[in-house]
Chain A
Amino acid sequence: DAGVTQSPTHLIKTRGQHVTLRCSPISGHKSVSWYQQVLGQGPQFIFQYYEKEERGRGNFPDRFSARQFPNYSSELNVNALLLGDSALYLCASSLVASNEQFFGPGTRLTVL
């Protein structure tokens, strides 16, 4: 069975640009969560979506937005990139919003 997939694997952007990261959950999973992991730190919660509705939002600025599509895949968008946005962005899926979460390999974003 395919696990959570994320694209792209790596991305290099410059300050001020915009980025879109994509996630496909495990088949049958309806909940997707996004996390930011800065080097040397644990993942930090950004968003959770369940059945295409936002169910939770972490302490991130409005430059960060996300959405979930009818097939339960999801996009994370970040506008006006800052150097501090450089991190590994992780997507996790679960059967329902409350269930165990399974992580994808992440997208490594570098902002120059």
Chain B
Amino acid sequence: QKEVEQDPGPLSVPEGAIVSLNCTYSNSAFQYFMWYRQYSRKGPELLMYTYSSGNKEDGRFTAQVDKSSKYISLFIRDSQPSDSATYLCAMRMNRDDKIIFGKGTRLHILP
């Protein structure tokens, strides 16, 4: 079993819809959780950074962490065509530990 599982998609949704992206993980020692956005042929861009369980909101983006279920989610409200990209979940055990990434989910927002 991989440490971090993420459906690669692609996921296609109409503009304006709410997008739900998620990852599951197997190592209960993970404490820090991140979501990155990666456009084609670019480096990943940090979107959200959370510690332990709970919700965090930033503009149209909301990150949720459920450590009891080993499940993390990213919600995008009022999705725009410019949100079309690959979204990578990532996590680490300690603040100075290596980051473990999921495979990434390719998202297409249809105008």
Are A and B interaction partners? yes
Interface size on B, residues (CB 8 A): 25
| B103 interface residue per 8 A CB criterion | yes
Instruction: Known contacts A90-B44, A102-B46, A103-B45; decide if A97 and B103 are in contact (CB<8 Å).
Output: no
Which of B13-21, B52-60, B69-77, B88-96 has 4 or more CB atoms under 8 Å from chain A?
Answer: B88-96
Are A56 and B98 in touch, CB under 8 angstroms? yes
Chain B interface residues toward A at CB < 8 A: 4, 6, 8, 34, 36, 41-46, 49, 88, 90, 94-104
For the complex formed, measure the closest distance between the CB of A5 and the CB atoms of chain B, giving whole angstroms.
Answer: 11
**Chain A residues whose C-beta falls within 8 Å of the C-beta of B41 in the assembled complex:** 105, 108
Across the interface, name the chain A residue whose C-beta is closest to B94: A98
Are B8 and A106 in touch, CB under 8 angstroms? no
Are B96 and A43 in touch, CB under 8 angstroms? no
Are A42 and B102 in touch, CB under 8 angstroms? yes
